[in-house]
Amino acid sequence: MKLMPYSLGALPLTLLALLTPAAAHAGPASAPGDVPGGHSASEIGRFLTDFYGDHGPSANDRQNHVSQVLKDKQKENTEADVLLCAQNEPQDIVIGPVTVLQDAGIGWATVTTHWGADTTDTFTAYVRLDSQPIRIDDVICAG
């Protein structure tokens, strides 16, 4: 048996000790009133589900519900769709649970795209809690 020079056993306790009271309550929000002056996890989840639909965002959503940063990224990257982290249209899209970090003013969810032959890919979509109207602020591709 090979022993590792370190142990991860204490890591969860250390992380728990580092959480401030505000950060401890910053996990997934579930009611519209959870984020004062901003979008709740359930609102973000509904938005992402509508935005991505089954095959990707509409032209209207791309124009009206995407940050300027992402629009500029798309102009620079003509070979791939930065909102889908792909070159083609997926067969289906599933939005995972939304996490809201109130102190940072942001919420996010993992988006899973389904392709032929049981192939999937994932990326993370970020939404600013104070965006008006609600919009995708950034997308980080998994690979």
**Model pLDDT for residues 16-63, shown as the tens digit of each residue:** 233 333 333 344 444 434 445 699 999 999 999 999 999 999 999 999
What architecture does CATH give domain 30-141?
A: Roll (3.10)
| Domain limits, the chain | 30-141
Query: What does DSSP assign to residue 86?
Result: B
SS (H, E, C) 22-54: HHHCCCCCCCHHHCCCCCCHHHHHHHHHHHHCC
What span, in angstroms and rounded, lies between the C-alpha atoms of 15 and 101? 16
* Residues across the chain: 143
∠ Cα 138 12 110 (to 5°): 25
What span, in angstroms and rounded, lies between the C-alpha atoms of 134 and 101? 16
Residue 78 has a pLDDT of 92
Instruction: For residues 62-77, give the mean pLDDT.
Output: 96
In this prediction the pTM is: 0.74
Tokens representing 102? Answer: 């109130």
How far lies 62's CA from each of 57, 58, 89, 129, in Å? 6, 6, 15, 19
